[in-house]
Structure 1
Amino acid sequence: MEKQIEELFTWIDETTDIIAKQEEVPYLDALIAASELLFYRDLPEDLEEDYEQKLNNQLNKTQYNDYPLEVRRKSLQLAILKGMKGTTQQHHYITPDTVGMFIGYLVQRFIGEKKGFSLFDPACGTANLLLAVINQQEKDSSIKAYGSEVDPTLIRLAYSNTNLQEKKIEYFHQDSLKPILLDSVDVVVSDLPVGYYPDDHTAFGYELKAEEGYSYAHHLFIEQSLKYTNDGGYLFFVVPSFLFESDQKDQLQSFLKEHAHIVGLLQLPETMFKNEKMQKSIFILQKKGKDTKDPKKVLLAELPSFKDAEAMESVLQQMNSWFNNDR
């Protein structure tokens, strides 16, 4: 698989560079064009002869359907990471693959035998997390998936990513904290944007708005996500580990106590983060409904390095025990 990823990434990267130089556009914009070329295999009309020849040479080298879905996703992910390097704010970075796959595993465990379910990421970025979760589910499960993203470049990359994965995902290009034309879903997954939300007018409609100053975007995203979740549905968030240490923690805790069951908090490995302040956790909630109740015990764990197979196996056994006895 590694060889295939390297091979497809090299094709995407070379084609992107050709387009970026010829069109004099940033790498990420050229990457959108390169991935669309890979999928649709159509060249625009009236290209300069030399440019057209270069692109045709690239098209003759490969077909996207020569590669498995996960190879396509990971190859495009590498190219997106290259384009983002040094130019992108921290909250725009891609959710690491290992985290996406682990959340996919958690979704599978919590959904259980349910074959068809709906899934939403309100801050989908390039859709890497959404697609990683979908790819982790059983082959015969029917998933209706939705994503929302305000950044125009990221939503176009999400669209290209989805095409290459041959998946159906409905996207909303908008500020996700404004009303969304979406029915409530069974599952929400999201790597939450962290920081202040600058639109006070929109924030005013939220219970979790700050009493003074700007509101925290990650708090508002939690509230908005619960609004679009079915009663009894599950939410899986990547959150800053300091979530319950901020000046607005009491407000958040009382809101969650009223609207949700706190199901789990899994601290991601320290080795994934440059410093302690950037550390994140997976926060699992269930929206309250008439047949729901608090778990016997909250699922708490400090996850070891995903590379440490033995330690990871031990944590998975503890989690299995929780599913069997304490859920």
Structure 2
Amino acid sequence: MEKIETLFSWLDHTAERIEESQDEPYLDCLAHAMEILFHREVSNIDDELTIKKIEKRLENIDLNDFQQKDIRKAVQMAILKGMKDNIQQQHLITPEAVALFIGYLANKFTAKQETLTVFDPACGTANLLTTVLSQLNKSVTAYGSDVDPTLMRLSVANANLQKLEIEFFQQDSLRPLLLAPVDLVVSDLPVGYYPDDVNASRFVLKAKEGHSYAHHLFIEQSLTYTKEKGFLIFLIPNFLFTSDQADQLRTYLKEHAHIYGLLQLPESIFKAKENAKSILVLQKRGQDTLTPKQPLLVQLPSFKNEKAMADIIGQINAWFSKYL
């Protein structure tokens, strides 16, 4: 924790100095601070006094003193501070424990592959993507996409500080991507309506009337950019299969994917019951793919209950041994 707090303090104080000098939002200043730390050069600041203060602070910190997980957690803390009071629900950071668990599942479902291509079509600040990448014990090529320029700037800086090679696309991820199909998609799906009805009309899962659900379109888009037999691990709202367009989604998934798992997360980690989520695991249909005889259906206990979590992990490992 001391290492994490040291790095968080450096990022936070530097971002605040830039904020005072440049009169920009904290998150933009945080991205600027992360860039300064990575390049070890103070640029794009007009005030000489601020430059000298940051240069002095740079002398007292060395990225090589920190492990990748320390960097990831310190960056998370700083981003959470910036998002505390003025962020939309779909931009919230994926909780650390959930991201680690998705990484564990990703490792299990891709265990037989020596190399892997991974894509997050709604990467935000890249917290989920970098957490998953840190757990994949193989050669990985990674991609992330997001429409928000501030979040994308934070993503790039976050990946750089962690020394992770990720190619990012700043664009509406529901438009065509210059991306070959990948082996694995991981994503904390944006929940809500997609405002571009013209673009939505290209999708099978478009709404029959009114705006389409963005989370439905993201599932279809992700399957489009996944190889046959590839896996997709989504963080989904618990109401995904009970909403007014759920029948349309179920029909689509039955035709294009196999449901391999549905793991309900403990409600205690979400601020409100209506924001509770689950983990959905799909495999894209392909030649010789089959629906599993027994999908992985789990009600996860609190991540703080170590004994209950150990029991569940044992049951999940047994499922993998028997069915995958």
TM-score by length of 1: 0.97
Change (3 A) 1:46 1:9: closer
Please tell me whether residue 189 in structure 1 is matched to residue 189 in structure 2.
Answer: no
The two structures, once aligned, show a CA RMSD in angstroms of: 1.1
- What is the alpha-carbon distance in structure 1 between the residues aligned to residue 45 and residue 57 of structure 2? 18
Instruction: Please report how far the alpha carbon of residue 274 of structure 1 lies from its aligned counterpart in structure 2 after TM superposition.
Output: 2.1
Counterparts in 2 of 1:1-327, with a 5 A limit? 2-44=1-43, 47-138=46-137, 141-327=138-324
- What is the alpha-carbon distance in structure 1 between the residues aligned to residue 47 and residue 211 of structure 2? 51
- What is the alpha-carbon distance in structure 1 between the residues aligned to residue 295 and residue 51 of structure 2? 59
* Secondary structure of the structure 1 residue equivalent to 2:241: helix
Q: Deviations over 1:128-176 (max 9, x none)?
A: 00000000111xx110000010000000000000100111111110000
- What is the alpha-carbon distance in structure 2 between the residues aligned to residue 112 and residue 237 of structure 1? 18
- What is the alpha-carbon distance in structure 1 between the residues aligned to residue 212 and residue 94 of structure 2? 24
Q: Deviations over 1:98-124 (max 9, x none)?
A: 111101000100101322100000000
Identity of aligned residues (%): 53
Instruction: Please report how far the alpha carbon of residue 47 of structure 1 lies from its aligned counterpart in structure 2 after TM superposition.
Output: 4.5
Number of residue-to-residue matches in the alignment: 324
Instruction: Please report how far the alpha carbon of residue 242 of structure 1 lies from its aligned counterpart in structure 2 after TM superposition.
Output: 0.7
- What is the alpha-carbon distance in structure 2 between the residues aligned to residue 205 and residue 46 of structure 1? 44
Q: Which runs of 5+ in 2 are unaligned?
A: none
* Secondary structure of the structure 2 residue equivalent to 1:261: strand
- What is the alpha-carbon distance in structure 1 between the residues aligned to residue 241 and residue 49 of structure 2? 58
* Secondary structure of the structure 2 residue equivalent to 1:290: coil
* Secondary structure of the structure 1 residue equivalent to 2:222: helix
Q: Deviations over 1:229-248 (max 9, x none)?
A: 00000000000011111011
- What is the alpha-carbon distance in structure 2 between the residues aligned to residue 52 and residue 214 of structure 1? 48
Which 4+ runs in 1 deviate beyond 3 A? Answer: 45-49
Change (3 A) 1:172 1:49: closer
Instruction: Please report how far the alpha carbon of residue 46 of structure 1 lies from its aligned counterpart in structure 2 after TM superposition.
Output: 7.9
Q: Deviations over 1:13-32 (max 9, x none)?
A: 11111111011111111101
- What is the alpha-carbon distance in structure 2 between the residues aligned to residue 79 and residue 252 of structure 1? 37
- What is the alpha-carbon distance in structure 1 between the residues aligned to residue 44 and residue 307 of structure 2? 56
Q: What is the identity, as a one-letter code, of the residue corresponding to 1:76?
A: V
TM-score by length of 2: 0.98
Could you tell me whether the CA contact under 8 Å between 2:22 and 2:45 is conserved in 1?
A: no
* Secondary structure of the structure 2 residue equivalent to 1:244: coil
Q: What is the identity, as a one-letter code, of the residue corresponding to 1:197?
A: Y
Could you tell me whether the CA contact under 8 Å between 2:259 and 2:282 is conserved in 1?
A: yes
Change (3 A) 1:291 1:44: same
Instruction: Please report how far the alpha carbon of residue 68 of structure 1 lies from its aligned counterpart in structure 2 after TM superposition.
Output: 0.5
Could you tell me whether the CA contact under 8 Å between 2:236 and 2:279 is conserved in 1?
A: yes
- What is the alpha-carbon distance in structure 2 between the residues aligned to residue 214 and residue 163 of structure 1? 37
Q: What is the identity, as a one-letter code, of the residue corresponding to 2:176?
A: P
Q: Deviations over 1:69-104 (max 9, x none)?
A: 111111011101100111101110010111111010
Q: Which runs of 5+ in 1 are unaligned?
A: none
Instruction: Please report how far the alpha carbon of residue 45 of structure 1 lies from its aligned counterpart in structure 2 after TM superposition.
Output: 7.4
- What is the alpha-carbon distance in structure 2 between the residues aligned to residue 324 and residue 296 of structure 1? 13
- What is the alpha-carbon distance in structure 2 between the residues aligned to residue 46 and residue 312 of structure 1? 48
* Secondary structure of the structure 1 residue equivalent to 2:118: strand
Instruction: Please report how far the alpha carbon of residue 48 of structure 1 lies from its aligned counterpart in structure 2 after TM superposition.
Output: 3.6
- What is the alpha-carbon distance in structure 1 between the residues aligned to residue 195 and residue 33 of structure 2? 34
Q: What is the identity, as a one-letter code, of the residue corresponding to 1:217?
A: A
- What is the alpha-carbon distance in structure 2 between the residues aligned to residue 97 and residue 46 of structure 1? 33
